[in-house]
A and B are shown apart, each in its own frame.
Chain A
Amino acid sequence: ILNVEQSPQSLHVQEGDSTNFTCSFPSSNFYALHWYRWETAKSPEALFVMTLNGDEKKKGRISATLNTKEGYSYLYIKGSQPEDSATYLCAFLRYNFNKFYFGSGTKLNVKP
């Protein structure tokens, strides 16, 4: 069984706070890691596709880093806004396995 773990499970922050969460995955045979944002009653929306050790990606106030050797990725949100409230999912793809393994997500709630 391949485990992809996300922590924390949930997070409550105040508007303006910066926050980060973790996705841990097996460090062997890495192929790709995807991050998604899933707002209630909407479809999961792709944030980043990360493929290389040391990758850093940024989209507005959200950024992500990748460490394939130790098997983790961090997602950072700078200056959280209420509209950032969502569940953030990571999905790991192992080389030659050709299917995504999703973590159970981090549910972020940003209070105004």
Chain B
Amino acid sequence: KAGVTQTPRYLIKTRGQQVTLSCSPISGHRSVSWYQQTPGQGLQFLFEYFSETQRNKGNFPGRFSGRQFSNSRSEMNVSTLELGDSALYLCASRGGGGYQETQYFGPGTRLLVL
């Protein structure tokens, strides 16, 4: 079974631009969560999508948004990029979306904002 994939793996943008990151979950998984990791910080929860609906949201500004498609693939969008958005962005999928299920992480997208 293929694992969670994320594209692109690396990205360089400038302040004010916007960016879209993509995550393909493990086949059959319906829940996709997104996380941000910055230096010195643990993983911070951004949001979770389940069956095309945003189920939970972390404490991030409205510039961070996402969506999920009918095939469970998810995209995350960040508009009006700021220097502080430079981070590793990870997505994770779970099968039925239960919180006692194992989360499987993708390799991440490393975003650098100049």
Contacts and interface: CB of A to CB of B under 8 A. Distances in A.
Contacts, number: 58
Interface in B36-95: 40-45, 48, 55-56, 58, 90, 92
A103 interface: yes
Contact of B43 (A31, A32, A49, A89): A89
A104 B40 CA distance: 8
Interface in A1-53: 4, 31-32, 34, 36, 42-46, 49, 51
Majority DSSP secondary structure for residues of B touching A: loop
A104 B58 contact: no
Contacts of B3: 43
A91 to B, nearest CB: 8
A4 B44 CA distance: 12
Contact of B99 (A4, A98, A102, A104): A98
Interface of A: 4, 31-32, 34, 36, 42-46, 49, 51, 89, 91, 93, 98-105
12 contacts: A42-B107, A43-B104, A43-B105, A43-B108, A51-B100, A89-B42, A93-B99, A98-B55, A99-B48, A100-B33, A100-B99, A104-B41
